[in-house]
Structures are given as structure tokens and as C-alpha cells.
Structure 1
Amino acid sequence: MGSLFEELEAREAAARERVEELEAELADLNEQLEEAREGLERLRIARETVAEVMAEMSADATTAPEEAPESDAVANEEASSPYAGAERRVMGVLTVPKWRPGLGVDALPRVYRDILEVIADAPGPVRAKQIVPRIGLATTAGRIEGTRSKLKRLVERGWLDEDEPGLFTPARLRTTASSNSQ
């Protein structure tokens, strides 16, 4: 009988050792997965930021008065550049301009226009978590927080009002100004 128990104990020890090895591999894989997720999130944020900057630059290019180039060589060089119309030394970029009479939503990047459209169509004040699915984003905490920061930016620049914390409505200044002009 003793040899059967010894054999079972030896097999149990081997199984325990294998479980420990697999747990160590799993911990290493989980760490690698987390690092890969963080890298993916950084790339997503970078892509979205570049898209916003490029949208702002193209909006500025369509509203800015055209200047005569210094020479035809400079004009040809700029036209062939993938960054044609972009200044080479951008010190600061204002993605969302301050609202002023005559400035339409077409001056805003696409995502901001979508947000304003959702709020304009809403029957009352709207929260960020209600807007996110309506603009085609997944309702994750990161997307909601990103949208909330965009909403706050729209409030700061006069496009929206936030009468109560977290509740956003179209700006009364805009609606009053536009209703007076009609």
C-alpha cells in the first residue's frame, strides 16, 4: 500500500509543479497583454488627436485669407507636400473656436458637429453617457470621459450651456442670437 501512496504523492507534486509553471506563464502573458493594451490606447489617442489637428488645419485653410507665395518654387514645394497649407511651426492649435455670430458648426471638427447635432435634437439636457452611443462610439468609461471633455470644451467656447453639472444644452446665447436674426 505504501508504494501506491508514494506514487500518488509524486504525481501530485508533479501536477502542482506544472500548475505553478502555468500560473507563472499566465502572469507573464497578462503583463504582456496589459502593455499591449496600453500601447494600443496610446496609438488610438494619437490618431484621434492628429485627426482633430488636421481637421482644424483644414478648417483654418478654408476660412483664412489666401496669401501670395514668395515665389513659384515655394508654391510648388508646398503643393507637393502631404502637409500642404499647414504651417511648419504650430505653437498652439485651437480645435474648437470660440462661438461668435456668423460662425457655423462647419467650423468644428466632425465629432464636435455630431455632438452638437445630438444635443440639438434632444428634448432636454443631455449627459455625456447618453451622447456617446448616439455618435457611434462604444459606451466605455474612456469614451464617455473623452466625450465629457469635448462637451466641457464646447461650453468653454460658447457652443453649449451646462446649467447643472453634467447636463448639457444648446447655448442660449446662440439660440437667442439666431432667433433674433430671423
Structure 2
Amino acid sequence: MGSLFEELEACEAAARARVEGLEAELAELSGKLELARGSLERLRIARETVAEVLAEMTPEKSAAAFDQTIARESTASAYAGAERHVIGVLTVPNWQPGMEVEVLPQVYRDILEVVADAPGPVRAKQIVPRIGLPAETGKIEGTRSKLKRLVERGWLDEDTPGLFTPARLRTAKSPNSR
């Protein structure tokens, strides 16, 4: 009977070695899986960012808006020539009297419409669902940067940090009227 116990011990040792080998393989594959997940997440974020940037600038509208803005600025101000030195397409031009929201990309027009229709100051997180985006941190931050850009360019006001209102410099017309 001694040889039967020896045989069982040998089988147990072989099974243990196989289990340890598989556990080591599993640990290696888990590490590779985490690296692949990280790479996938970075690619997803890059794709979303590029999609947002491309959505903001349709080639015909952006070029036409830029040309219209330059033409208006050259007749409106002695300093308008400075705007011509901007490299690339200016998707959100500085607001000038008589300028219509049609010069803006659609997402900016949507934001202006929501702000104009609000009974008081609004936050980025209130605007996001109203323009059809999911209320995720990334979308809220992207919208906040668009709001800040609109403030910078004279389309909106931000008297209190994070609270946006239609620009007071504008005429009595709402930003989405024609």
C-alpha cells in the first residue's frame, strides 16, 4: 500500500504545480488586461474629444462665420485687423453689434438659447441635460468651458462664478431671435 500513497502524493504535487502555474498565468493576464483597459479608456476619451471638437466646427459654417466676422470687424473697428492674425478658425467670434447667433456652431447656439430662456442665472450642470447631453462630469466640464468662452467673447455674462446670464451689452433682442 505504500506505493499507492506515494502515487497519490505525486499526483497531488503535480496538481499543485499545475494550479500554481495557472495562478501565475492568471496574474500575468490580469496585468495585461489592466493595461489594455487603460489603453481602451484613453482611446475612448480621445475619440469623444475629437468628436466634440469636430461637432463644434462644420467646415462651411466655420469658414463662412470666420469670413463674416473678419468683414464686420474690419468695418466696425480700427483695431479689427488684429483679429486677422489668429491662426486657425475662430469658431466663437467676439460679439459685435448686429452679429447674429447663426455665426456660432450649433452647440453654442443651443447653449445661448437655454441661457436666454432661463428665468435667472444658470449653471453648466443645468444646461447639459437641456442641450441633450448626459449629465456626466466630462460633459458638464466641456459645457462649462464653452460657457466661459462665450463670456470671454461677449455673448454671455458671468457676474458670480459659475452662474451665467445673457450679456447685458446686447440689445433687447434675445440671442436666439433673428
Compute the TM-score of the two structures, normalised by the length of structure 2: 0.71
Spell out the pairing of 1:1-182 with structure 2 (5 A cutoff): 11-53=15-57, 54=59, 55-60=61-66, 91-174=87-170, 177-178=171-172
Q: What is the Cα deviation at residue 150 of structure 1?
A: 0.4
How big is each residue's C-alpha offset from its partner over 1:64-111, in whole Å with a ceiling of 9 and x where there is no partner?
77xxxxxxxxxxxxxxxxxxxxxxxx8232111111221111111000
Unaligned ranges ≥5, structure 1? 66-89
Secondary structure, aligned partner of 2:165: strand
Secondary structure, aligned partner of 1:169: strand
Structure 1 residues 158 and 122 mapped into 2: Cα distance closer, same or farther (>3 Å)? same
Percent of aligned pairs sharing the same letter: 53
Whether the aligned pair in 1 keeps the contact of 2:66 and 2:90 (CA below 8 Å) is no
Unaligned ranges ≥5, structure 2? 72-85, 174-178
Q: What is the Cα deviation at residue 42 of structure 1?
A: 1.9
Whether the aligned pair in 1 keeps the contact of 2:115 and 2:164 (CA below 8 Å) is yes
Structure 1 residues 147 and 154 mapped into 2: Cα distance closer, same or farther (>3 Å)? same
Larger CA Rg, structure 1 vs 2: 2
